[in-house]
A and B are shown apart, each in its own frame.
Chain A
Amino acid sequence: MSLVIENLTKTYGSQVAVNQISFAAHPGEIVGFLGPNGAGKSTTMKIATGYLPPTQGTIQVCNHDVEDDSVAVRRCLGYLPEHNPLYLDMYVHEYLQFIGSLYGLRGEKLKTRVGEIITLCGLMPEQRKKIGALSKGYRQRVGLAQALIHDPQVLILDEPTTGLDPNQLSEIRALIKKISQEKTVIFSTHIMQEVQALCDRVIIINRGNIVIDSDLATLQRGESKQKEEVQRVEAIFTHPIDEMLLRTSLTLGRVEKKHGATYELEATAGQEDIRPAVFRFACEQQHVLIGMQQISREERPGHGASLEEIFRSLTVTQENPS
């Protein structure tokens, strides 16, 4: 077990950034760390790297405690911070040698390692340039090279792919995939396709709480097994009504105006028969309802919920409890 987080809590003043989260990650696992902005992803990562102290709880990296044995933790951990800060006035070579020497690499060993990592990260063509002169994609590679130079067991990448063009994106992803074979990789992102393309496991965090921690495969299979019930009702009013109001007040999936003041309503997610509710709505809004008929009520298989939908359902609903 190379990364173990137990009951981690972090508060900034009265604001709780991370609330009692626990998880563990194994070598060879790529864990996607998802969540809306401000959910506590970066905070968790910063604590795991020893940059910030936890308010409560413990984190162990390679069996070293982050607080008691911080330097040992940093030695076996590679970290790419959000926004990828770099010394822009240093040369790529020089920078990687500097970072390598911080990890105790010297002389020939350092030189060969820097050479290796430059090849691995595809920095060959740019290796003689100043970091400040590099494009964003290459800077990101330098950041990644920095995190990898000491061949760490645990790799923590905070939004490694933001702001990259599609080509760079797939290159960086391929690189992460390539290096992840024997390492534990935890990375945060907003891009769902990325998680689907890369991860074995997904942890979704919202407002400091883990809302889901599951294998990607299980998660997607589990969701798609669920069947949803769909009922369709035709309602005829004397005058046209406010479709939006009807939809939101009855939480309908769809309201379609067919002709005149005839509407087709569709409701999903195992609701009761909606006809009484439509009747009450008409009364309250003082519409005259002159006819109503259930067209169909059937079960249909869920349409293989994409990760994006799962993410939305888990994070959006909790933000607006209504």
Chain B
Amino acid sequence: MLAIYRKEVNSYLNSLIAYIVMAVFLTGTGLLMWVFPDTSVLTYGFADLSTLFTLGPYVFMFLIPAITMRSFAEERKAGTMELILTQPVTDLQLILGKYFAAWTIVVFALLPTLIYYVSVYQLGNPVGNLDSAGIAGSYIGLILLGGVFTAIGIFASSLTENQVIAFILAVFLCFFLYTGFSSLAGLQVWENSALLVEKLGILYHYDAMSRGLIDSRNLLYFVTVTALMLLLTQLVLNSRKW
């Protein structure tokens, strides 16, 4: 698994993808945080990072599928799938290697945003007037959210040999899982089970974490969805044997 992980990270770093993703992510969030007047912290008047954490997921929704779209689709297209699957690695090792590599790139993209934290910390009046616990929780939430999106992206990539299809499918699935359930819960058909429907979506759990409370139920949710997506991927890989 480690060998696959190392190779995947290297190939991201060697192929511009990682740099472009980081550059776009940081430019995008940077503009939203500091420049665009509608969302800027400077015009907002409160020292917090809520812009980053509410808009971050939407940026991730497009960037993470772009990172993951090639992972299996390209192997299928180039025929290297046959090569890698006849090496002494299990399907799960292969999937996990690719998954953690892509997630690493996502986390790397997130690291420079710590500068935002420092900046807002300094801008507070008095200095340091900032909900650090809430921000830490949000960071953990965002990293876990990135993990879920990555797993979705890997799954979508395993379904097809066309990277564009993998990308679009992943964006849709991320979007649906993130806000889709919350929006569906707003329909007037659920009666008492509306909350249950909302809880199926990521948004509910992500918001809960953003409040700075690391609840094991929310953690469990993120881990479960990630595991589910990766197991589905394994199922897809295994389907060659059916």
Contacts and interface: CB of A to CB of B under 8 A. Distances in A.
B119 interface: no
Given A90-B11, A94-B10, A102 B79 contact: no
B216 interface: no
Contact of A89 (B6, B11, B79): B11
B78 A102 contact: no
Interface in A36-50: 46, 49-50
Interface residues of B, number: 23
Interface stretch (B81-89, B133-141, B173-181): B81-89
Contact of A87 (B80, B86, B241): B80
Contact of B86 (A72, A81, A94): A81
A74 interface: yes
A79 B90 CA distance: 16
Nearest to A46: B82
Interface in B67-97: 78-83, 85-90
B89 A102 contact: yes
B3 A49 contact: no
A94 B10 CA distance: 10
A75 B90 CA distance: 12
Contacts of A94: 10
A86 B241 CA distance: 23
- If over half of B's interface residues share one DSSP class (helix, strand or loop), that class is named, otherwise mixed; here it is helix
A74 B10 contact: no
A78 B69 CA distance: 29
Interface string A136-166: 0000000000100000000000000000000
Interface residues of A, number: 28
B240 A98 contact: no
A23 interface: no
A94 B82 CA distance: 19
Contacts, number: 59
A308 B85 CA distance: 35
B33 to A, nearest CB: 34
B88 A81 contact: no
Contacts of A87: 11, 78, 80
A81 B83 contact: yes
A85 B87 contact: no
B87 A99 contact: yes
Contacts of A98: 3, 6-7
A174 interface: no
A188 to B, nearest CB: 15
B3 A51 contact: no
A51 B85 CA distance: 7
B11 A51 contact: no
A131 to B, nearest CB: 11
B87 A88 contact: no
Interface string A84-119: 011111100010001101111000000000000000
A85 B83 contact: yes
Contact of A85 (B14, B80, B88): B80
A101 B86 contact: no
Contacts of B7: 90, 98
B188 interface: no
Nearest to A158: B82
Nearest to A85: B79
B88 A83 contact: no
A51 B89 CA distance: 12
A283 interface: no
Contacts of A83: 79
A88 B7 CA distance: 13
Given A81-B79, A85-B79, A86-B80, A52 B86 contact: no
A53 interface: yes
Given A89-B11, A89-B15, A75 B88 contact: yes
Contacts of A79: 86
A52 B11 contact: no
A316 interface: no
A88 B78 contact: yes
A250 interface: no
A71 interface: yes
A47 B4 CA distance: 24
A74 B82 contact: no
22 contacts: A46-B82, A50-B86, A51-B82, A51-B85, A52-B240, A53-B241, A71-B89, A74-B86, A77-B86, A79-B86, A81-B82, A85-B79, A85-B82, A87-B11, A88-B78, A94-B10, A101-B3, A102-B88, A102-B89, A103-B88, A104-B88, A146-B83
Interface of B: 2-4, 6-7, 10-11, 14-15, 78-83, 85-90, 240-241
Interface of A: 46, 49-53, 71-72, 74-75, 77, 79, 81, 83, 85-90, 94, 98-99, 101-104, 146
Given A51-B240, A85-B82, 12 more contacts: A49-B86, A71-B88, A71-B89, A75-B88, A79-B86, A81-B83, A85-B80, A85-B81, A87-B78, A89-B14, A98-B7, A99-B87
The 3 closest A-B pairs by CB, nearest first: A85-B79, A101-B3, A74-B88
